Structures are given as C-alpha cells and as structure tokens.
Structure 1
Amino acid sequence: MQPVSNNKRIAKNTLFLYIRTIFTMVVSLYTSRIVLATLGVDDFGIYNVVGGIVMFLSFLNTSMAGATQRFLNFEFGKNDMNGVKRVFSNALIIHFIIAFIVVLLAETLGVWFLNSHMNIAPERMTAANYVLQFSIATMVTSIVSVPYNAAIIANEKMSAFAYISIIEVSLKLMLVLLLVYSPVDKLITYSALMFLVSMIIRLLYGWYCKRHFEECRAVKLKVDKTVIMQMMAFSMWTIVGALASIGHGQGISIVMNLFFGVVVNAAYGIANQVNQVVGNFVNNFMTALNPQIIKTYSANQLKEMHILVSRGCRMGFFLVLFFVVPIIIETPALLGLWLKEVPDYTVDFVRLVLVITLFNSFSSPLSAAQGATGNIKNYQIVLTTLGLLHIPLAWLCFVQGLNPNYAMYVYLVIVILEQSFRIIFVSHSISMHIIPFIRNLLLKCGTVCCFSFVVPAILHLYLPNNIVISFSICIIGALSVALFVFIFGINSDERQGLVKIIKNKISRFEK
C-alpha cells in the first residue's frame, strides 16, 4: 500500500464527494426554503421532532453501521475476499434483525410517547401520527441499506455516492415542488414523499453494489457465528456511544419541545440543516480518508497511519472553518435571504451549532483510528458518560428558567472534553506521541482560526448592513481562511505539494 497511491486515491474520492456536496448543498437549501414556506413553522417543527423519535430508536443501527464499515475495511486491508463476503452477508442478517427491533420499539414506545407526552396541538396529532409511521418506514429502508453503503465506502467508489446523491436531492426537490399543489394535508404528503425517495435510493444502491462488487452478488444469508460475535462484541460498546450521540441531537430536541414547543424545534431543525450542509464537506473528506486509516493499521503501517490521523484532524478543522467564519459573522443576513420566516433563536442556534461542529471536526479520524484497533471498551465508556450528561444538564438549565441556548453551551463544553479524551486514548492505542500531536494541532488550528476572523469581523462591524456587503464579507472570510491555512496551517511538504499541483493545473490549462 503506497503512500503516494493512497494520497491520490483519497484526493480523487474527495473530489467526487465535493462535487456531490456542492450540488446537494445548493439544492437542499432551496428545498428546505420551500418546505418551511409550504408547511409553516409549526408543521416544520412537528416533522423534525416526530422524526426525532424514530431517530432516537435507531441507536442499534448507528452502532452496527460503524462495526460493518470497520470489519469490511479491515478484511480489505488483509486482501481477504472470502472474509469480505462473510462480513457483508452477516451484516445483512444483523441489519434485518435491527430493522425488526426498531419497528417493534417505534410502534410501541414511539406511538405511546408521541400521543402521551409530546407538546403538539390536538388538531395536528393525527398528522403527527402519520409522520411517525412514514418516518418508521423511511428508517427501515435506511437500516437495510447500511451494508451496501459500507461496501461502496470500503471499495472506495465514491463516484457512486456522488451520482446517487445527486439523483436523491433532485427527486426531493421535484417532489417538494409538487407538494405545493397537494390537495391533502401537506405535512402527511411530505412525509410520504420522503419515504418514496428513500425507497428509490435504496433500490439504486442495491443495484449498483450487486453490479460492481463481488461480495454483493448472489449473497448467501448464512449465519457465521464467529463473524457475528466479533461484530456484536465490537458494536456492543459503540451502542452506548450511539445512544449518547443520538441523545444530544434527538433527545435535546424532545426536551426543548417539552419546555418551549414546536417553534423552538423548528429553529433547532434549521440550525441542524445548516450544520449538516457544513458537516457534509468535512464528512466527505473523512469518508475518503477513514478507510485508509483502518487499512494502514490492518497492514501494520503505523507511521503512515499517524500521518493520516494528524492530517485528517487538521484538514477536517480547516474545511469546517472555511464555512464557519463567513456563516457565523453573517448569520442574520444569510438566514434572512434563505428563509421567508426565521423562527426565534435560529440565529443563536446556527452560530452555536457551528462552533460545536468546529471542535467536533477532530473526532472522525480519531474515532476511525481507535476503531481500527478494536480496543474501544474504555474509550466508549468515557465518551458515552460525558455525552449522556448533556440531556440532564440541559434539563436542569431549563428547569432553572434559562433559555434554549444553554443546551448548546452545555454541549460545547462536553465536546471539548470529549476531544481531549479522544486524543489521549488514540495516542496510547496506536503508539503516537501525544505532545507533538497536540502541539502541532493546537498551534496550526488555533493560529489559522484567530487570524481568519479578524478582517471579516472588522468589516462586519464598520461597513453598512446590506446584502452586497454581506456577500462580500462572506467571500473575504472564506478567502481569509484559505490564505491563513496556506501560510500557517500546513507544513512545508504539504505546501510544496499544493504549489506543484496548482502549477501543473495551470500548465495544462495553458496548453
């Protein structure tokens, strides 16, 4: 496994994923605008909070998705195709079982909680129950798709994600445009249309995998107890981590609903959509990088693995910062342009969620590195304990009469603590020197972050407030990040490599 070849593969896969993300970002933001305008703030909030009930019950799927990805990458790293086939076959069996469990829990506990405890207007409860049913069906299609998605990532065929995602968002936009003309309840119609899209995309992923990957053809659903036990043992400790992850997202959404109603849920949903768009950019890079982290560990190439982890943490931070600087500074203007009606607390939520995502950008390469070792018990116990503190601490803040922003303040502190413990665990597990790693990470990331905010912040304070100025400041903010990343954020070898790539592109263009 050659480093140069790996870097080219990562770059190529990242490019495909960025093409996908830019397209999906533009279409998704426009789609969200239409949905909010068509449904209204209250129904939009209902859709987000009811869907959150099903998401909260999907912790089993979240944990097993990570296990499936890890074991497929590990077998590919050993060049064991029979092992890949065994993992894929048994992953399908496990995910069918998970789908059944999620349906069982959602149709009992989910229905009971929705009708007994949710803060929803009585005249909208029927529609909310329809939303729940369609959300359950959508979740089931997502669960049974996991092994196929994992196969695409393990084979590093990111072009498939790009093409299918473009189809997905295009379908959503087309159906949402039709939503305006629906003669029946628009909230119910929207839920049904999202389920229809999920089914179409599920079939596309299945078709692609069966056509291109040997392990996905003529799958024999034969139980291999050894493989299942290994995957279950690995996922057992990620289950609690998945609970914590879902808890701070969907659990906080439910707690906010109980204290503040669906309008705050709408604001939280919008903030999460902005965050998802920004997060997709770093996730694309990590989706291309993480298989290489696991494969280098499987091949016992620890030095190469250390480089990938360090570079992944830095580049992930810079990719998030590229969007965080302009969006945080110009949040009111951007939201006003995007949405016809901006719910209360949306501006604060967007800014706080983006700051949290900035700190959380280190987690993906560190988690991939720790997962590659298979030693995740203590790692998950510590991180889960911290994560699960979010809901009771937020609840305590709300009981004391504090505003919804305090849920974000609490989680920001938790995320900073989580990243500290991640670095400690990973450094020990893969024999990576912790002091040079932290010094390099904090020095480069901190310097770039501080300098990047200076110029756009000054311009925002002293220039008049209009849409042209706001867009100009956004562009200057993004360019500031790019400039200071080039000056302070990358080492000399990376800088020389980047200059060489730019020169090659220019010379090709001149020809």
Structure 2
Amino acid sequence: MNAANRVVFNTGILYGRIIVSVGISLFTTRIVLDALGAEDYGIFNLIAGVIVMLSFLKNAMATSTQRFLSFYQGKKDKVMQAKIFWNSLFFHLILGIVLLALLEFAGLWLFDGFLNIPVDKLEEAKQVYHFMIVNVFFLILSVPYNGSLVAHENMVYVALVNILEVLLKLAIAIFLYHTVGKKLVVYGLLMAGISSVSFMVYALYCMKAYQECKIKNRTGIESSLLKELGAYASWNLFGSLCSLGRTQGLAVILNLFFGAIINSAYAIANQVGGQLMFLSTTMLKSINPQIMKSEGNGDRKRMLRLAMIASKFGFFLLSIVAVPFIFEMNNILSVWLKEVPDYAAIFCQMVLVGSIINQLTIGLQSAIQATGRIKAYQATVGGVLLMNLPLAFLLLKMGFAAYSVLAGYIVVEFIACCLRLYFLNRLAGLPVRQYMDRVILKEIVPLMVLVGTCLLSINIFDFEFRFLLTIVLAAIGTAFAINFWGLCDDEKEIVSKGLMKIKQKITKKKELALNN
C-alpha cells in the first residue's frame, strides 16, 4: 500500500472509530452527570479533570517517540528504531515515577484550603486525586507503545483500543447509575483502571508485532541518545502540560470565584470540544507519520505541503460540524442533557470558537515537531498559553462574567497560531505568503457559506431536532463550496484519486458478490 492509499485507509478506519466513540461518549456523559449530580460531577472534573484530557496528553507526548521512529523509518534504519524505542521506554518510566511523586506532593497543598470544595466532600475528593495519579502513571508508561503504533501507521489497532476504552467507560457509567454509597470514589477508582488496561493491551500487541518492541531486541541505555530523546520529550511534555495546565487552570479559577457547580458547565464544554476535535485530530494522526517521514527522507518541500494540507482540512473537518453546533447549542444541550447547567451553552460555543482557530495551524505544529528543533517553540507558545490564567483571574477580579475567561482563551489561541506560523517560517522556511494563499484565503468562502447556511436554517425552521437538519444542510453546502473555492489543484487531484479508489473498491465488491 503506497503512502497516499495508506493515509486514506487509516483516515477511514479512524473515522469509523469516531462514529462509534463519539456517540457512546456523549451518552456516557449524560449518564454520569445524572448519576453523580452536578456538584459531584463538577468536583470530579476539577480534581481529576486531567482524565478527561488523557487522550490529548497521550497523543501529544506520543509524538516524541513517533517522531523519532518515523524519522528513522524514513531513513530505513532498523537498528536506530530499536534504540529509540527502548531508550524512550526507560525515559517514560522515570518520567512517570517523577510525576507521580510531584503530584502527590502537590496534593498536600491543593487540599489545604486552596480548592473550593464542600467540607463533606473533601475526603472523597482526595481519594479521587490519588486514583488520578495512578491513571497518569500508566498513561505515561503507555506513550512509547502508542508512538510505535502511530509510527507504523497501524490505525486499525489504535481504533480498536479507543473503542474498548469508550465501551469500558460506558460500562462504568451504567454500573455507577446502579451504585449506592460513595459514587464519586467508585467512579474515580474505575476510571483509573482503564489506563492500566489500555497500557497492557498496547504493550502486549507491540511486543508481538514490531521488531523494535520485542524483548529479545532490547538495547542498552545510551546516554547521548537518552539525552536527545529526553530533551525533545521534555519540551514536548512542557508544551502539552502548558496546554493542559491552561485548561485545568481555568477550571480552578472558575471554582475559586463561583464554586464547584460551574465546573460542570466547563467540563461539558470541554467534553463537547474534545469530541468534535476528534474529527480533525483523526485526520492529523493519519497524515502525521508522513510529515515526519518526509523530513527523514530530506523532502522538506513535501513535508511543508502536507503540513498546509493538514491545517486546511483540519479546519474544514472541525468547522463543518462545530459551526452548526455553535448556532444550535441551546437546542443540542436541551436534547442531550436532562438538566443543562448554567453557562454550559455559552461555554461550549466559546470553546468551539477557540478550537476552530487552533485548526488554522494544526498541521504546522506537526511540521515544527518534524524539524526536531522545538525548544524555543514550546517555551514561547507554552508560555503564551499559560498567560490565559492570570488574564482570566484579572478579568474575574474586575467583575466580568464567568464566560470572559473563555473570551481570553480565544484571544490567546489566535496569538499562539501567529507564533506557530512565525516559528515554522524561521525553522523550515515556510513562506508566509504561500501559507496565506493555500490555507487562509481558501477557507474564507467555504466558511461564509457555512455560516450563511446555519443562519438560514435557524431562521426558517423551528422544531425540536432542527440541529440535525442544520448540520446536514451545512455539510452539503460547505462540501460544494470547498470543492469549488477551498482546494488547490493538487489537493483536488488527491481527493479525486481517493474517491476513485473508493468507487473502484465498492464496484469490485459488488462484482464479487454477484459472482458468488
């Protein structure tokens, strides 16, 4: 299977996983919110909210291992691939132990009057926090195996494990609904168990399927290689933790000013944003190894072209669903949840706007990773993302409404996008004019069509499930706009070839069925 066909195949597999996982995840959230109640659900997402972001953190950190493995796959160097994997596994083991100790130490301070948690729930919250730490440890340990799967572009197994995790979460939610007693503690314990199950499933498969992961091919720890991997992974981890710290830090700030109940609204916004982001991150996961391998092959021109294609298609894939959600958010939440927390709708809308802006440079992030020169980039962009926290505190201290913190989130996200473009121009020579022509200017007309279609739908129609019609109409109208105004000639050729291959496979299967 050639590179183009593999990207199309892997994208199809991962989108099949999305259809299953998103629907189940949203239904699971409804059950858990109903079973725990708004206060306990808010406390869980305040204390163990990192669990909600596990997939994001895992994918972000796995980029470190995957980048080096894909790079040396491009060079066809199997010896270095084995060295990369085993040194990476050793590094993440040490990192997991260090983070475990740091989080336990931080817990002594967090629960000593800092967090705004009702006294009768304090002991339960502490237990949930300990479970979260176990969860994080297994998450860190599974990163090299996940990176190996992505580097080998084995999206079938990645999708299967993701579906297993989603089904386990659904089973936990159903069990929780019928549990009496300390439901918050039970939920934290069972959620922590999922990461250990995922780690074992990843590890056993990789040790059997890939040469570099087999114990018999284990290599010694090389200080120079460990230093290179450690520096890259540490800066990558710093960037990921800045993004995660921004998300969870806003939860803490909202908690300090408004109490635990508002964290339910914020958690729902992150849940909606996270599930819709799967649409673009799935495509990026398919194309990311090719970006890394192109750099390993010395084909920087192809690497930059793929990065711009990823940014454009990531923007389209998220916007085509997120924009209708923004217009129909009140309707969607009233259908989805039995009781909609205050601020949930406006929080969801603003998180989606920030996510759409992020997609403008989503492929550029991978291209910067491919260069291997990420220290200044992660330090600068990570620092900018964290500036969202003092900005949010200042806004609330000045008496602005709760949603003002997410207005700051949108502004900071736009600044981060500008910095990513600057760094890729500096590190890999991406022409800013070329990026504007191929990405930004090509997105304007389809976005106008998308917004216009949504406005027409909500002003013409009025029934309970109108959001379904709005999404369908927006998707159809935007698809035509993308085809006519959103694609460059080479991108139209890629789409045309992909559709032709799908058509040929369907025709072939029909012929085989008729012959049998």
Q: Which residue of 2 aligns with 1:386?
A: 384
Q: Indicate which of 267, 285, 289 corresponds to 1:287.
A: 285
Q: Which residue of 2 aligns with 1:407?
A: 405
Tell me if 1:479 matches 2:476: yes
Residue identity (%): 31
Distance change (3 Å), C-alpha of 1:342 and 1:19? same
3-state SS of paired residue (1:467): coil
For residues 12-411 of structure 1, what are the structure 2 equivalents within 5 Å? Answer: 12-52=9-49, 65-218=62-215, 220=218, 222-411=220-409
Task: Give, as a single letter, the amino acid of the residue that structure 1 aligns with 2:116.
Answer: N
Q: Indicate which of 416, 419, 422 corresponds to 2:420.
A: 422
Q: Which residue of 1 aligns with 2:514?
A: none
Distance change (3 Å), C-alpha of 1:367 and 1:497? closer
How far apart, CA to CA, are the structure 2 residues paired with 1:230 and 1:359?
32
3-state SS of paired residue (2:465): helix
Distance change (3 Å), C-alpha of 1:497 and 1:220? closer
Q: Which residue of 1 aligns with 2:443?
A: 445
Distance change (3 Å), C-alpha of 1:12 and 1:300? same
Distance change (3 Å), C-alpha of 1:289 and 1:321? same
Distance change (3 Å), C-alpha of 1:13 and 1:211? same
Distance change (3 Å), C-alpha of 1:506 and 1:71? closer
Q: Give the Å deviation of 1:416.
A: 1.0
Range 51-60 or range 157-166, more displaced:
51-60
Q: Give the Å deviation of 1:501.
A: 4.5
- Dislocated runs of 4+, deviation >6 Å: 53-63
Q: Does the Cα contact within 8 Å between 1:119 and 1:258 map onto a contact in 2? A: yes
Q: Give the Å deviation of 1:169.
A: 1.1
How far apart, CA to CA, are the structure 2 residues paired with 1:27 and 1:54?
17
Distance change (3 Å), C-alpha of 1:223 and 1:116? farther
Q: Does the Cα contact within 8 Å between 1:145 and 1:202 map onto a contact in 2? A: yes
How far apart, CA to CA, are the structure 2 residues paired with 1:473 and 1:63?
33
Q: Does the Cα contact within 8 Å between 1:154 and 1:291 map onto a contact in 2? A: yes
Q: Give the Å deviation of 1:407.
A: 1.1
Distance change (3 Å), C-alpha of 1:311 and 1:197? same
Distance change (3 Å), C-alpha of 1:181 and 1:470? same
Task: Give, as a single letter, the amino acid of the residue that structure 2 aligns with 1:174.
Answer: A
How far apart, CA to CA, are the structure 1 residues paired with 2:55 and 2:224?
25
Distance change (3 Å), C-alpha of 1:48 and 1:281? same
Q: Does the Cα contact within 8 Å between 2:325 and 2:467 map onto a contact in 1? A: no
Q: Does the Cα contact within 8 Å between 2:54 and 2:139 map onto a contact in 1? A: no
Q: Does the Cα contact within 8 Å between 1:135 and 1:195 map onto a contact in 2? A: yes
Question: Pairwise CA RMSD of aligned residues?
Answer: 2.3
Q: Does the Cα contact within 8 Å between 2:347 and 2:403 map onto a contact in 1? A: yes
Q: Give the Å deviation of 1:59.
A: 12
3-state SS of paired residue (1:33): helix
**Cα displacement string for residues 423-448 of structure 1 (whole angstroms, at most 9, x for unaligned residues):** 12212322232212212211111221
Distance change (3 Å), C-alpha of 1:200 and 1:135? same
Distance change (3 Å), C-alpha of 1:196 and 1:241? closer
Range 14-23 or range 46-55, more displaced:
46-55
Distance change (3 Å), C-alpha of 1:196 and 1:221? farther
Q: Give the Å deviation of 1:288.
A: 1.0
How far apart, CA to CA, are the structure 2 residues paired with 1:256 and 1:450?
34
Q: Does the Cα contact within 8 Å between 2:45 and 2:52 map onto a contact in 1? A: no
Task: Give, as a single letter, the amino acid of the residue that structure 1 aligns with 2:427.
Answer: S
Q: Does the Cα contact within 8 Å between 1:62 and 1:239 map onto a contact in 2? A: no
Q: Give the Å deviation of 1:506.
A: 4.8
Q: Give the Å deviation of 1:339.
A: 0.6
Distance change (3 Å), C-alpha of 1:242 and 1:213? same
**Cα displacement string for residues 92-149 of structure 1 (whole angstroms, at most 9, x for unaligned residues):** 1111111111111121212331342111111111111111111111111111100100
How far apart, CA to CA, are the structure 1 residues paired with 2:335 and 2:156?
32
Q: Does the Cα contact within 8 Å between 2:8 and 2:498 map onto a contact in 1? A: no
Gaps of 5+ in 1: none
How far apart, CA to CA, are the structure 2 residues paired with 1:105 and 1:496?
51
Q: Does the Cα contact within 8 Å between 1:452 and 1:480 map onto a contact in 2? A: yes
Q: How many residues align?
A: 507
Q: Give the Å deviation of 1:500.
A: 5.1
Q: TM-score, normalised by structure 1?
A: 0.94
How far apart, CA to CA, are the structure 2 residues paired with 1:178 and 1:387?
38
Q: Give the Å deviation of 1:505.
A: 4.4
**Cα displacement string for residues 24-60 of structure 1 (whole angstroms, at most 9, x for unaligned residues):** 0011011111000000110000110001478999999
Task: Give, as a single letter, the amino acid of the residue that structure 1 aligns with 2:137.
Answer: V
3-state SS of paired residue (1:362): helix
Q: Does the Cα contact within 8 Å between 2:22 and 2:275 map onto a contact in 1? A: yes
3-state SS of paired residue (2:400): coil
